[in-house]
């Protein structure tokens, strides 16, 4: 069955370190998204991609970057982790044609000490 | 950006009761989505709505796309323990549907034994 996976599921890192969170989908979807979820804020969009070599900034993109070298993967990089980036991160994907339907991965809980 | 207001924030109900929750926006949406999230997991799509006035069911769940296109409603009939979770409404940031989603802050459903 097609799915979307994230790794690691949990990570603890230190302030200033570079961190990369992986997202892999086997739906063959063109569109992929990264969100963060925080108490009191719900889910907020970080970056998204419409296809290979395409990336776009979302609502809360500062301090994050993404790259899309193939259809299946959209890794999220925190260049220099900050305590404010402690959160749960979700990756999602969607088809181009069916409006709005996004399918989410299980999430990565990141703690920055 | 667009904001979605969900109410109530939380609900404490008895097993077997019906549940109603809603989502409102200050701007028009062309698509409304309802997701459920359980602890430690990503949001799971329950129902997608694409037309004003549309009423769609998924088992004991029924959702409606408000005729003003600024609101949506989710009802759960005869609640059971596995209905516990956080229910989110969401809509695409643009009319096309391939951009990121704006999420409400969720309605936390708790079922008392």
B55-88 pLDDT, tens per residue? 999 999 999 999 999 999 999 999 999 999 999 9
What residue of A is the nearest CA neighbor of B1? A59
For residue A4, count other CB atoms closer than 10 A to its CB: 22
* For residue A8, cis peptide bond before it (omega within 30 degrees of 0): yes
Q: pLDDT at position A39, please?
A: 85
Q: What percent of chain A has pLDDT over 90?
A: 83
Distance between the two ends of chain A, CA-based, in angstroms? 37
The predicted-structure confidence for A27-84, as pLDDT tens digits, reads as follows 999 999 999 999 877 899 999 999 999 999 998 999 999 999 999 999 999 999 999 9
- Note whether B14 and B74 are within 8 A (CB): no
Size of interface A-B (CB pairs under 8 A): 66
- Note whether B37 and B106 are within 8 A (CB): yes
d(CA A20, CA A11): 10
Q: How far is CA B20 from CA A73, A99, B87, B107, B110, in A?
A: 38, 25, 11, 10, 13
Question: Of A8, A11, A1, A14, which Cα lies nearest the Cα of A91?
Answer: A8
d(CA B101, CA A90): 13
Give the residue from A99, A103, A104, A109 with the most B CB atoms within 10 Å of its CB, the best one to mutate: A99
What residue of B is the nearest CA neighbor of A49? B99
* Two structure tokens written together for A111: 């703690």
CB contact under 8 A, B92 and A100: yes
Q: Which of B31, B42, B105 sits opposite A105 (nearest CB)?
A: B42
Determine the distance from the C-alpha atom of residue A17 to the mean position of all C-alpha atoms in its chain, rounded to a whole number: 18
Looking at every residue in chain A, the average pLDDT score rounds to 93
- Note whether A52 and A71 are within 8 A (CB): yes
- Note whether B20 and A67 are within 8 A (CB): no
- Note whether B5 and B102 are within 8 A (CB): no
Q: How confident is the model at residue A90 (pLDDT cuts 50, 70, 90)?
A: very high
d(CA A50, CA B99): 9
The mean per-residue pLDDT over the stretch B37-50 comes to 93
Q: How confident is the model at residue B96 (pLDDT cuts 50, 70, 90)?
A: very low
């Amino acid at each position: 069955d097609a799915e979307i996976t994230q790794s690691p599921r949990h990570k603890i890192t230190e302030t200033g370190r570079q961190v990369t969170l992986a997202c892999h989908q086997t739906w063959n979807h063109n569109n992929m998204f990264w969100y963060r979820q925080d108490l009191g804020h719900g889910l907020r969009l970080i970056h998204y991609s419409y296809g290979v070599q395409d990336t776009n900034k979302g609502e809360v993109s500062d301090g994050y970057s993404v790259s899309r070298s193939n259809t299946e993967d959209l890794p999220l990089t925190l260049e220099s982790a900050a305590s404010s980036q402690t959160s749960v991160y979700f990756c999602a994907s969607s088809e181009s044609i069916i409006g709005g339907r996004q399918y989410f991965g299980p999430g990565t809980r990141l703690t920055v000490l | 950006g667009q904001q979605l207001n969900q109410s109530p924030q939380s609900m404490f109900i008895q097993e077997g009761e019906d549940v109603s929750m809603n989502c409102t926006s200050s701007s028009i949406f062309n698509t409304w989505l309802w997701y459920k999230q359980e602890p430690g997991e990503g949001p799971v799509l329950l129902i997608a709505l694409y037309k004003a006035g549309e009423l769609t069911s998924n088992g004991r769940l029924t959702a409606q796309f408000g005729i003003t296109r600024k609101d949506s409603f989710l009802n759960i009939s005869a609640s059971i323990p596995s209905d516990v979770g956080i229910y989110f409404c969401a809509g695409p940031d643009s009319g096309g549907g391939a951009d990121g989603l704006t999420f409400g802050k969720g309605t936390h459903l708790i079922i008392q034994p």
